[in-house]
A and B are shown apart, each in its own frame.
Chain A
Amino acid sequence: MSQPISHISENQQIILEARGLTKVFGGLVAVNNISFTVYQDEIFGLIGPNGAGKTTLFNLITAMLPASSGELFYQGARISRLCCHQIAGVGIARTFQNIRLFGELSVLENVIIARHLHIKSNLLTGILGLSLSVSEEKKSQEKALELLELIGLSDRSTEKAQNLAYGDQRRLEIARALALEPKILLLDEPAAGMNPSEKKQLSQFIRNIRSLFNLTIILIEHHVPLVMELCDRIAVLDFGELIALGTPAIIRNDPVVIEAYLGS
């Protein structure tokens, strides 16, 4: 299962940088002074035991939670003061660990909603049905159908999202995030609840979408073999602290990581 990684060279362009990110809930330090950089086009893994602060870190990056301190930079520009919808506008899209689809709406509508930022028409031009807005609507529908094709759900586009099987819902969340045309895609446990063969397909799928859409991908995953095989670099969190960061080969043999996972 080994395959050549390291297309990441030293002078790779930095797309996302965290400096001293910290989040405190009452007395609990969920994320403690974490700094790291993510390079353009890489698949960056985030692992760690339960409660290590991985999802909290995602919530800080996407501004769903305000950071207690620390800063975030996207291609050199500070984004740590933005609201969550502005982060989406910058080009950072995410999926959720506990699936957050618009369950009552159809599969297609879920994806079309995420085209929000790519439709210019406003209330007035939309309601009047001016030709520009009509063509925009048509285009966004086509785009959404393309994405459904990609994840293999195009024949179920009229179904309610909540009626899909669990794995399909996870893939629909990815399609919805891709509809934003992001530069960075954050995947929160994309393989959760999938069987081994689905997991294998998933890692191929993630590589595919990276090259198709020129994405940088940051993913949280518990399934260690998947992360080791898929990621270019891996960051390990434990009790809110970054305890290791490096290529899978380095991480696998790091004594601190082994201790965090297996106990001393």
Chain B
Amino acid sequence: MTTTAQIPLTISEPEKRSRPRGGLSRTLVSYSFLAPWLIGFLGLTLGPTLASLYLSFTNFDLLQDPQFIGTANYERIVTNDVKFWHSMQVTFAYVVMAVPLKLAFALGLAMVLNRGIAGLPLYRALFYLPSLLGASVAIAVLWRQLFAKDGLVNVALALFGIDGPSWISDPNYSLYTLVLLSIWQFGSPMIIFLAGLRQIPPDVYEAASIDGATKVQQFVKITLPLLTPVIFFNGIVQTIDAFKAFTPAFIISEGTGGPIDSTLFYTLYLYQEGFAYFRMGYASALAWILLIIIACFTAFSFLTSRYWVHYND
């Protein structure tokens, strides 16, 4: 999109000048780097993607041939589908809560781990442990035990005199347990932040501390700006992931999205439509609407990124 156009001129100029070869061969060399992806995209990804776009304009029950019905699926979604609006609401609430909290947690711990204290590899491994477990059946069972009325969480809260509800099975709170699950699995963005922090040359800090900058000033003036490409990346990727979140709700509610559809994520609804109720055409239309929403969000992020993301190039 627009990111590539923002390379500062002063830096891209010398590159142009020093290029020894002509335009065509340069293009060929560039495409030779791109070739594996391009082959995969044209050969494996594009076809199924276009097929799903076509299916979104059909009545497709998986077992019989699809029948073209024009925009009927889309019309129904917008005008006559309460579950669409409801699941959209659940998903937005999830995105808004889970993404910033998870990123803040991941960045904070990455900074703590980026210091010279003993036992760091061990801590890193431990912090990554929840993410290693993924969204397995075991996690589902554990989560239901932890957040039940008489679960460990309420036992802990009782120490402070709080009488907690049955978090996981009360429709007022069940979504929060999934937000917590997402935050708890902060390992991946943490690792990416850590890799980003390691890329900041230490001499930058040395220079700053000679100048008498405090830790806070260093963080605001050096760490954050130099980390913006990684923050940008984590923000986009985590948001896309949260919009598409499926597995946590699927395993914890056993595919129902319950209680009372309080954890009916958008993709879970889409999955039910497609695979449980045999309406794959309708599910495809739902998926393409989600794609448009995510694409708008991503485009917006890229457009604003030129004002706050600092690349070295």
A binds B: no
